[in-house]
Chains A and B, each alone.
Chain A
Amino acid sequence: AQTVTQSQPEMSVQEAETVTLSCTYDTSENNYYLFWYKQPPSRQMILVIRQEAYKQQNATENRFSVNFQKAAKSFSLKISDSQLGDTAMYFCAFEGRKTSGSRLTFGEGTQLTVNP
């Protein structure tokens, strides 16, 4: 079974600064996807960024980038130029290719607060 661990229950950052959210995972699979989702108070899970395990290059999406360390099973999210609208819960998630369908395994989440 896969597990995903987020060791930071809460983080805060000043507007315009950079923050990094940590995530580690455990799996015996070699082919998988990793995700970061954002969940604002509206409850809807919004995909922030996705990384394919077989790609060595770290994914980037505008102000969001990841540091994917496959050997260490680490997948951190860096948010640059933080904005007030980035305040939300952030979940790291794993999807194994061998798993039936596309079931996601989520971490416990990190509450990020961006302060003005």
Chain B
Amino acid sequence: GAGVSQTPSNKVTEKGKYVELRCDPISGHTALYWYRQSLGQGPEFLIYFQGTGAADDSGLPNDRFFAVRPEGSVSTLKIQRTERGDSAVYLCASSPTMNTEAFFGQGTRLTVV
């Protein structure tokens, strides 16, 4: 596609439920990043993929968060047993390779009620 696409745009879920957030990077981009942006703050790094493998997952806050990129293109961020504190905008970005300009999607706003 022309840009990074994230679906859904908005997601409301109940506390304790499982959610999946999807990111379609720009075609051909090997690097993919997930960030979390809480209200009124700057984005915080969660995880980085180079190809299919997670090169750096040090930003994932706990073991309820997991992300995959099985074919080196689309990535899914998975959150188990959601908590109200997980409410935030989840941003995805991709870049042609590591250490090149990252292009961001419009994010998924997750609200846990």
Contacts and interface: CB of A to CB of B under 8 A. Distances in A.
Interface of A: 4, 42-47, 50, 91, 93, 95, 97, 100-109
A99 B43 CA distance: 17
Nearest to B103: A47
Contacts of B42: 4, 91, 93, 106-109
A39 to B, nearest CB: 9
B25 interface: no
Contacts of B56: 100-101, 103
A43 B48 contact: no
B90 to A, nearest CB: 10
Interface of A is mostly: loop
B107 A43 contact: yes
Contacts, number: 63
Contacts of B43: 45, 91, 104, 106
Contact of A43 (B31, B41, B89, B95): B89
B44 interface: yes
A101 B107 contact: no
Contacts of A108: 40-42
Contacts of A95: 99
B55 A101 contact: yes
Given A43-B106, A43-B107, A101 B93 contact: no
A102 B98 contact: yes
Given A45-B93, A45-B104, A47-B101, A101 B31 contact: yes
Nearest to B102: A102
Given A102-B99, A105-B45, 16 more contacts: A4-B42, A43-B107, A44-B104, A46-B104, A93-B42, A101-B31, A101-B33, A101-B48, A102-B31, A102-B102, A103-B33, A103-B45, A104-B35, A106-B44, A108-B40, A109-B41
